[in-house]
Amino acid sequence: MKFISTRGKDIAKNSAEAITKGLASDGGLFVPETFPCVYDKIEKLLDMDYAERASVVIGSFLEEYDSERLLSACQKAYSRFEENDPAPVVRIDEDLYVLELFHGPTLAFKDVALTLLPFLLREGASICGIEEQILILVATSGDTGKAALSGFQDAEGIKIMVFFPSEGVSDMQKLQMCTQEGENVNVVAVKGNFDDCQTAVKKIFSDKEYEKILKDKNIVFSSANSINFGRLVPQITYYFSAYCDMVNAGEIELGDKINFAVPTGNFGNILAGYYAKQMGLPINKLVCASNSNNVLTEFFANGTYDAKREFYKTTSPSMDILVSSNLERLIFELNGRDALITAKQMQELKEKGVYQIKEEQLEVLDREFFADFADEEEVMQTIADFFEEYGYVLDTHTAVGINVEEKFKGFYEDAGKTIVLSTASPYKFPQSVLKALTGKGVGDAFEASKKLENLTGMPMPEGLKTLQNKKRRFDKEIDRNKTKEAVDEFIG
């Protein structure tokens, strides 16, 4: 299967090339030439475990990867999750379910893809005959960074460098990254927000002269952000797996449509759901849940994407994003896969901070999606109310999803069953969650975690407990225009 750029000037002859390159040479994102139908295999998926389901879903795109090696890699990756299940579905009430995606090594949904991406990248490089050292650059709003560092730690022939906003992640997220072990890793704080980090990394990727300089040093770039299709495709699996689990549990009949509510920042997680629907999964609505940085909510309401707005630092920092990179892939589909129009809109976003879609395209979005947002007060209230009613502890990002799901059910009273994607453990944001439950703030993350554990009876994960005594290895902070110099220093 070929992969084409959303901007029309690059083609990858297969998925291996698309994954190893990460970002298309024209600055666009790689998308599959066609969407394979996986729903016709759904009855077989019902009887499989998660790793087997993943190998089928992912393998439908990665035709040149050996199927047995892919299955083995999935089994190895997902054995790192609690009970070998990266995506258990928890029933809350008759029409509400939570898809828990935080049972991996770094306690965030990014683990589902980033425990597997090292295999996809190394195997892809082998298929493509790439012998150079691979340098992975990552911009993170919190969770991607640690998950990528953990996944690629000491990976042969690969170096990884993570950039995060110095004041835009939680204390736990920062500690997870800055204490990371491994000889091939580096972590740098950037003065600014996530959009600054993402823009800086994309600028490096698109610098042809710098690419040649590194090539002469026997180094090639790749990405572990969701701009890389290898990051995106494993996430499609948990939509199919959740649906299968619902059928197996007798909650729905095969063929029934369900909704998915997704806390959304860079639009990769919800785009995976959109792709699952294109592959035949019976999805009614995809609920796009934003925090106070509600650029996506307004886009779905009026068809104008306007990133020229005030940026808010919120209690759900992984969603503090104004330029949602993966939306470009959806825009490409809305444009009838017209790359020239898509490229023009992305250039308008770069130069003017705004672009517009047509009325008929907005009508398509309205059929496929529901979008709304939760402000800070609503997030705190949702965490408190949900714990009081169900005894279930939400992290701040999942609370955004629950709050918007409630608004969705208020708008469509007969909407049916909805699965809310839970993207992180509450213990990654213990100060905020504790304050929501008690009204009292605690400055230290570990003290807050102890109080949260005593209050809720939910054990603090061992992986976070050990952070308190780990040596902090990385403390470098740079201006956003100094990222290339930081890369040079890292590679020597």
Residue 247: both structure tokens together: 């059928």
Q: Is residue 452 part of a domain?
A: yes
| Residue 11 Ramachandran class (φ > 0 left, ψ -120 to 50 alpha, else beta) | beta
Residues 460/465/468/470 CA torsion (nearest 10 deg): -150
Q: Is residue 377 part of a domain?
A: yes
Q: What is the pLDDT of residue 115?
A: 96
Which residue range forms the structural domain that includes residue 427?
Answer: 91-102+238-463
What rounded mean pLDDT belongs to the chain? Answer: 96
The dihedral sign for the CA sequence 110, 199, 121, 275: positive
Q: What distance lies between CA 411 and its chain's CA centroid?
A: 27
Per mean pLDDT, which range of 110-114, 141-145, 427-431, 475-479 is the poorest?
141-145
Q: What is the pLDDT of residue 168?
A: 86
CB 109 within 8 A of CB 231: no
- Whole-number Å distance between alpha carbons of 182 and 36: 38
CA-to-CA separations, 316 to 37, 220, 289, in angstroms, rounded = 35, 34, 12
Q: Is residue 29 part of a domain?
A: no
Residue 248: both structure tokens together: 């197996």
Q: Is residue 44 part of a domain?
A: no
- Whole-number Å distance between alpha carbons of 141 and 235: 18
Domains of the chain: total: 1
Stretch 408-437: mean pLDDT: 96
Active-site residue, 257 included: no
Q: Is residue 117 part of a domain?
A: no
Q: What is the pLDDT of residue 464?
A: 92
Write out pLDDT tens, residues 44-68: 999 999 999 999 999 999 999 999 9
Q: Is residue 21 part of a domain?
A: no
Per mean pLDDT, which range of 139-153, 239-253, 337-351 is the poorest?
139-153
- Whole-number Å distance between alpha carbons of 421 and 11: 33
Q: Is residue 333 part of a domain?
A: yes
pTM: 0.95
The catalytic residue among 110, 277, 285, 409 is 110
Q: What is the pLDDT of residue 269?
A: 97
Q: What is the pLDDT of residue 75?
A: 98
CATH number at residue 426: 3.40.50.1100
Q: Residue 11: which of 20, 328, 230, 26 has the closest Cα? A: 26
Question: Is the pLDDT score of 94 beyond 90?
Answer: yes
| Share above pLDDT 70 across residues of the chain, in percent, rounded to a whole number | 100
Sheet holding 219-223, edge to edge: 219-223, 133-139, 158-165, 185-191, 477-479
Q: Is residue 424 part of a domain?
A: yes
